[in-house]
DNA sequence: GTGAGTGCAAACGATTTGCACGGTG
DNA sequence: CACCGTGCAAATCGTTTGCACTCAC
């Protein structure tokens, strides 16, 4: 059982997904996908780099940005910017929304199905929407006290 | 008539709002609020700096960040991060959601009332939500062709 | 008068880029 | 075996910080 309670996907399947998305199944990309599976629901850049280190499969930061950019562009993972220099990464299938505490910056996951509510249907837009990110802001209970 | 079709607020009223929020009504803050009123619905950092220049009331970038941080913290304006190093600023009362084209980065405004739809009610959260930012991503019609 | 806020410059840190090498398809 | 992607380092860019001065209250 992994951290998010989701079924694990093995390397072969991950490689297939990469190819299906038109990407080569390289070591660096597989490593990032593996770590995203093995760890919690979302990771910051630092957390991703550290997780790779901790697992004995380090990647240089430059490569991490490169990999993350490619995976995100091809819909295999999601990137959410919750503030300047604060990007959150997560596997596409684990994707969810976030509640960010204004005071301590703590992040809580919020389940929220895209397209389910009228508000996540943007209505009249000059293009095709394929994703909706929602960031809730406020104060967490710990900081309120 | 300003760019957004909203009634203009004069300096005195802006100053009152600043004081009501517990902030001193300084020149720099009034300038930023004025520009946010006079220009389009949302501005990037660069656009804000350039608009201040163009109007003959320049502010150094450092001060702009300072002012924007204070105004956002006190709820007088909204900051939305639509990507790394891409912050959008807007007056609190003009606040809305955004559709961002993955290809060209063009931004379109999306009207969307917070709290109106079930999805913007985060439900069970360990804190108090006072704001929900929504970023729609996809491909605009120009890039699709 | 006094402390918050500004303006400027320097520091910082996140992200991007360029290029030679290596591995995938 | 052709090309895409990596790894590394340097460059870049957005943002933050420190400090003396100024202004709002």
User: What is the per-residue pLDDT across A84-138, written as a single tens digit (0 to 9) for each?
Assistant: 999 999 999 988 899 999 989 999 998 865 445 545 667 778 999 888 899 999 9
Token pair for residue B144?
């699709």
By CB atoms closer than 10 A (0-12, 13-18, 19+), residue A29 is buried
**What is the per-residue pLDDT across B48-79, written as a single tens digit (0 to 9) for each?**
999 999 999 999 999 999 999 999 999 999 99
A117, B112: Cβ pair inside 8 Å? no
- The residue among A84, A106, A69, A122 whose CA lies nearest residue B79 is A84
**What is the per-residue pLDDT across A74-87, written as a single tens digit (0 to 9) for each?**
999 999 999 999 99
What's the pLDDT score for residue B145? 82
Long-range interactions of A17-25: CB distance < 8 A, separation 24+? A17/A76, A18/A76, A21/A74, A21/A75, A21/A76, A22/A74, A23/A70, A23/A71, A23/A74, A23/A76
What's the pLDDT score for residue B60? 98
Give this prediction's pTM: 0.91
Q: Which of residues 9-48 of B touch strand D (CB under 7 A)?
A: 15, 18-19, 24-27, 45-46
Residues of B in CB contact (< 8 Å) with A are 73, 81-87, 97, 99, 101-102, 108, 110-113, 116-120, 122-123, 125-141, 143-144
Chain A CB contacts of B99 below 8 Å: 122, 125-127, 129
Indicate the average pLDDT of chain B. 90
Which helix (H) or strand (E) is A138 found in, with range?
A: strand A127-140
Q: What is the mean pLDDT of residues B75-100?
A: 95
What's the pLDDT score for residue A122? 75
Chain B CB contacts of A120 below 8 Å: 117, 119, 134
CB atoms within 10 A of CB A115: 10
Closest partner CB to B81 (pick from A82, A99, A127): A82
Q: What distance in Å separates residue B123's CA from the closest CA in chain A? A: 8
The answer to whether strand D lies under 7 Å from the CB of residue A144 is no
B144, A131: Cβ pair inside 8 Å? no
The answer to whether strand C lies under 7 Å from the CB of residue B63 is yes
B128, A139: Cβ pair inside 8 Å? yes
The span from the CA of A117 to the CA of A134, in Å, is 12
């Amino acid at each position: 059982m992994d951290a998010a309670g989701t079924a694990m996907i093995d390397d072969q399947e991950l490689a297939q997904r990469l190819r299906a998305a038109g990407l080569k199944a390289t070591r660096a990309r597989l490593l990032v996908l593996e770590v995203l599976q093995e760890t919690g629901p979302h990771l910051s850049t630092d957390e991703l780099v550290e997780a790779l280190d901790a697992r004995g499969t380090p990647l240089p930061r430059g490569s991490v940005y490169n990999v993350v950019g490619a995976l995100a562009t091809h819909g295999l993972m999601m990137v959410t910017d919750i503030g300047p220099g604060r990007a959150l990464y997560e596997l596409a299938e684990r994707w969810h929304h976030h509640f960010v505490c204004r005071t301590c910056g703590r992040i809580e996951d919020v389940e929220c199905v895209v397209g389910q509510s009228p508000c996540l249907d943007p209505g009249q837009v000059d293009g095709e929407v394929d994703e909706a990110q929602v960031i809730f802001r406020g104060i967490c209970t710990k900081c309120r006290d």
